Amino acid sequence: MNWYKRDYLKNMLLYGWNFARFLRLGLGIVVLTGSIINSDWLLGTLGLMLFAQAFFNTGCCGAGACDVNPNANRKGN
């Protein structure tokens, strides 16, 4: 692995933690633990998705496709 990829991954995992990221991590751990205890694999996939979102710092719209352009509906003055 190249040094710049390693540094990028290290920075992605160690920095940029906010409330939403901690919330996804906590919910992912709780749901994964509950799914393992109850042997519920469908719930486990949800927990794994939440955990992966916290790990990679993405949301449901990881590419930023949900952004709204405030100037899109304005007409030229």
pLDDT tens-place string over residues 19-35 = 988 999 999 999 999 99
pLDDT of res. 17: 87
Give a yes or no: residue 51 inside a domain: yes
Kindly state whether residue 16 falls inside one of the protein's structural domains. no
Question: Which pTM was predicted?
Answer: 0.68
Cα separation values, 44 from 16, 48, 49, Å: 26, 6, 8
- Domain of residue 39, residue span: 21-58
30 domain-assigned: yes
- Residue 77's Cβ-side half-sphere holds a number of Cα atoms within 13 Å equal to 2
- Distances from the Cα of 7 to the Cαs of 35, 57, 63, 69, in angstroms? 34, 16, 22, 33
From CA 35, how far away is CA 48, in angstroms rounded? Answer: 10
Count of the separate structural domains present in the chain: 1
pLDDT at 37: 95
The verdict on residue 10 lying in a domain is no
Residue 76 lies in a domain: no
Q: Which residues of the chain have pLDDT under 50?
A: none
